[in-house]
Amino acid sequence: MNDLTVSNIERQNVLNNKYAIAKIQEHLGVIGMEFEGEYHFTKKMVADFYEVEERTIERYVEQYSTELLANGYFLCKGKRLKELKLQFAPVINVGSKTTQLGLFNFRAFLNIGMLLTESEKARQVRSVILDIVIATLNERVGGGTKYINRRDANYLPMALKEVNYRKQLTSALRAHVNGHETNMYSQVTNAIYKAVFRENAKEYREILRLDSKDNVRHTLYAEVLLVIASFENGVGSAIREKSKELGRKLSVSEVEELIIKLAEEPMQKPYLDDARSKMASRDLSFRDAYHGNIEEYLRAVSPEEYERFIGDRSLNIDQLLDENSEVLKRLKQADEDGND
């Protein structure tokens, strides 16, 4: 993972992961004022914990106000402030004329710790955060995250659809393209991968640290598989039309030209952008895998996505394998149509 002090995406990936947040809070053992159902901290309490001056916290609040406000910092005033004073007057130690008071919930408290560069205590907290995030992720998925994509309830239905569209492509290749079948499948698949996420199979394998037995498609998220399937279906149709038009079989290089043309279609852009964003962002957060070729599509993984892949909505992979053995046999059989 990158340096939390410089990467807003990395910070938000931590703060959006409620499972890691709970573990971090338990580990740090910091207890603020329990107000409105959660713990809150004043600027002074935050400054004391991170062993910096209060004006340092104020400077960071001013500089990163948008980020901190989004993560739970707020100005307590009016009726809420009156209630806070009644409950915690000795703790907050503010005068009767104070009309507003900045408060951090635990997420905002951690957010400041991920930003502070002057504090050794904050540096230690950042180290703990990263360790706990990794441990929590592995605990939630029961081991490695190579196949975390399979925990999505949408994965298996989409994988089966992709197999059917791939058959449309491979049948078109056999009937209308010159070349050795295995080599054709590999070259065309690489061209499709390049069009979708700007990496061929070898590059993708290296980024995800896959071994030779791993099938690339088995690690792809459902949304990426959907775009792959769209390309396979479109390329298969284009091959048939072009071959009929020319009255001959095509070369692999001509097929690659068709793929490039398809990728440049304006109607494909929203789907490509979405697939690239999901792959780049989820792989960085879940697999600590960085796709440099689609870096501009990186964003923070949402709380909903964490719930989808590591929360109660996600699927247990062992249970999934048991309950869908016949489906998975079909996917394995489909691999014989070509690698990756």
Q: pLDDT per residue over 40-50, tens digit each?
A: 999 999 999 99
Alpha helices (H) along the chain: 8-15, 18-28, 43-50, 54-63, 65-70, 78-92, 106-115, 120-141, 155-176, 181-197, 201-208, 222-246, 252-263, 269-287, 303-310, 317-323, 325-334
User: Tokens for 271?
Assistant: 């789907």
Q: According to the model, what pLDDT value does residue 93 have? A: 72
CB atoms within 10 A of CB 15: 23
Assign 339 to helix, strand or coil.
Answer: coil
* Contacting residues for 143 by C-beta, under 8 A, at least 6 apart: none
The rounded percent of the chain whose pLDDT value lies above 70 is 91
Structure tokens given for 155: 């994965």
pLDDT, position 184: 92
Beta pairing, strands 33-35 & 38-42: antiparallel
Residue 232 burial class via C-beta count within 10 angstroms: exposed 0-12, middle 13-18, buried 19 and up: buried
Per-residue pLDDT at 142: 82
Q: What tokens were used for 239?
A: 């091959």
Question: Alpha carbon of 44 to those of 56, 91, 258: distances in Å?
Answer: 10, 10, 63
Beta bridge partners of 105: 40
For the segment 22-35, what is each residue's pLDDT rounded down to a tens digit? Answer: 999 999 999 899 99
The predicted-structure confidence for 63-108, as pLDDT tens digits, reads as follows 999 999 999 999 999 999 989 888 887 778 766 677 899 999 999 9
- The distance from CA 322 to its chain's CA centroid, rounded to whole angstroms, is 27
**β-pair type (74-77, 100-105):** antiparallel
Give the pLDDT confidence score for residue 166 in this predicted structure: 92
pLDDT of 340 > 80? The answer is no
The identity of residue 148, as a single letter, is I
**Tokens matching residue 137:** 């992720």
Output the CA angle 120-108-62, nearest 5 degrees.
80
Q: How far is CA 333 from the centre of its chain?
A: 29
Record the tokens describing residue 148, joined without a space. Answer: 């975390």
Segment 273-295 shows an average pLDDT of 96
Residue 11 corresponds to which tokens in the numbers above?
A: 């910070």
Q: Which two tokens stand for residue 195?
A: 């069009």
Secondary structure element (H or E) that encloses residue 199, with its range: none
State both tokens at 337.
Answer: 């149509």
